[in-house]
Amino acid sequence: MEGEIVELYSSQYLERKRKTNRIRGRLLLALILAGLAVCVSLCIGVTTENTYRRMLWTIVTSTLTGWVAIYLYVFGYRAAKREIAHGEHLQGEERTSLTGTVSFSPKAKRIRGSIRVRDVIVKTAGGERTVLINAARVRELERAGKRLRLWIARGYVTAYEVEHEIH
């Protein structure tokens, strides 16, 4: 792995993300339609004897379907969509390189309307510089090593190369 440049937002990575997100969107739509179909079928067979039971099952089904759909949308579909948009935004930008010893902030922060990020503190011979990285990609850099060469666009890490691996 030493000497190999690893792109965090390569075209292949973004295309794979788009493909899985399309599948997520279709599954989300299927879940919502299935929940709606169950609710409609519960309403069709209502009689005076089973009104309360059918109403209870309709409420339970619609509530569970709604909460699961909201969860899948917020933490799956929307998060991936934001990551794709962020990666596409950074792809065409001019990059600079920075080599040094890296460490990461312990907590992630959210950029409004975008992705969750963590601070990367890069200690170089000339001092210390802080840049941002997608919080979902931090583990990848942590496993790579302590001394890295980072490519930065608009203050975000877009690629890295291992300068010295941890042994």
Q: What's the pLDDT tens digit per position in 39-57?
A: 999 989 888 899 999 999 9
Q: Are 160 and 149 in contact (CB under 8 A)?
A: yes
131 vs 141, higher pLDDT: 131
With H, G, I as helix, E, B as strand and everything else as coil, classify residue 151.
strand
Q: Are 76 and 136 in contact (CB under 8 A)?
A: no
Residue in 74, 70, 79 with CA at minimum distance from that of residue 32: 70
Judged against a pLDDT cut of 60, whether residue 165 lies above it is answered with no
pLDDT band at 164 (very low <50, low <70, confident <90, very high): low
Judged against a pLDDT cut of 70, whether residue 166 lies above it is answered with no
Name the DSSP class of 140: H
Residue with tokens 């059918």: 54
Distance CA 151, CA 5 (A): 9
